[in-house]
Amino acid sequence: KPLTPDEKVSLTADRCRNCRSHRLKLRGTEMQQEVEVVRTRRVTEYTVAVYECLDCGGEVRSTLPDGREPAGYGPQLQTEIVLGKIEERLPYRKLEERLGREGIPSCPATIQAVVWGASEKMSEEEAAIVQRLRASPWVHADESSYRIDGRKVWIWVFCTEVDLLLVIRPSRSRGVVEEILGKDYPGQIVCD
């Protein structure tokens, strides 16, 4: 199925590729599509107004409409960094090279800060998922071994019909189940 084009271009020929003649007669046209990924870097420079509160003397900084302060990397770029690290399992050095190809200055420490910052932003949601798992009448639980930097660890999955939690732990002991579900989980644990 053809995609909806962003641009339509009509191509014409002015000579024969075989004999180089200019005597051509149009027999018809055909449609062909070419898909290309266009990555453009967009840098936005904000002038942040900094105020002093006349009542308490505190500093007040202006924010973007979504309430956040401008950061070195925007939300979409931060998402790409986290996905590269977590989903694609790229080392920080490779992520730095990827950003460099896009003309984006970076260093491993900055990239690591983005990944860790995303983890901190998700801590409240993780706690909410754990609470819902503990309140569920049943939870599917399983673990698989995995290697990170040459060390054996376990990826644990805990899920219900609506929630899924993945955790990485250095152990496959019941202590992980107790950490997530609590020591006295009253529901059913479904496992293989």
Determine the structural domain holding residue 69 and report its residue range: 50-121
User: Do residues 100 and 156 both lie within one domain?
Assistant: no
- DSSP conformation class of 42: -
What per-residue confidence (pLDDT) applies to 139?
Answer: 98
> pLDDT band at 56, cuts 50/70/90?
very high
User: Do residues 103 and 164 both lie within one domain?
Assistant: no
pLDDT of 37 > 80? The answer is: no
Number of domains into which the chain is organized? 2
User: Do residues 152 and 97 both lie within one domain?
Assistant: no
- Residue 101 included in any domain: yes
Instruction: Name the packing angle between helices 75-86 and 108-121 (round to 10°).
Output: 100
Which of the listed residues 121, 144, 177 is the one where a domain comes to its end?
121
The three-class DSSP label of residue 148 is strand
Residue reference for tokens 């309140």: 135
Query: pTM of the prediction?
Result: 0.63
User: Do residues 113 and 139 both lie within one domain?
Assistant: no
- Residue 85 included in any domain: yes
What per-residue confidence (pLDDT) applies to 160?
Answer: 96
User: Do residues 64 and 109 both lie within one domain?
Assistant: yes
What per-residue confidence (pLDDT) applies to 63?
Answer: 85
User: Do residues 105 and 155 both lie within one domain?
Assistant: no
Indicate the pairing of strand 59-61 with strand 138-148. Answer: unpaired
> pLDDT band at 187, cuts 50/70/90?
very high
Which of the listed residues 72, 89, 121 is the one where a domain comes to its end?
121
CA angle 147, 189, 161 (to 5 degrees): 85
pLDDT of 30 > 80? The answer is: yes
- Residue 30 included in any domain: no
pLDDT of 103 > 90? The answer is: no
The lowest-confidence range among 68-72, 83-87, 165-169 is 68-72
What per-residue confidence (pLDDT) applies to 154?
Answer: 94
pLDDT of 48 > 90? The answer is: no
What per-residue confidence (pLDDT) applies to 69?
Answer: 80
